[in-house]
Amino acid sequence: MADNPPPPRTRVVLGDAAGRRRPTDPARTDLAEPNAVNEALVKGLVRAQLALALRLSLVVLAGLGALPLLFAVAPAVGEIKVYGMHLPWLLLGVLSFPFLVLVGAAYVHWAERNEQDFTAVIRRPER
Residue 7 has pLDDT above 70, yes or no: yes
pLDDT band at 101 (very low <50, low <70, confident <90, very high): very high
What pLDDT score was predicted for residue 113? Answer: 95
pLDDT band at 26 (very low <50, low <70, confident <90, very high): low
Which of 64, 68, 69, 66 shows the shortest CA–CA distance to 99? 64
Nearest 10 degrees: CA dihedral of 97, 99, 104, 108?
A: 140
- CA–CA separation, 17 vs 41, rounded Å? 32
Residue 28 has pLDDT above 70, yes or no: no
Which of 110, 3, 4 shows the shortest CA–CA distance to 59? 110
What pTM was computed for the model?
0.66
Q: Yes or no: say if 108 and 101 are a contact pair by the CB < 8 Å rule.
A: no
- CA–CA separation, 24 vs 46, rounded Å? 23
What pLDDT score was predicted for residue 68? Answer: 84
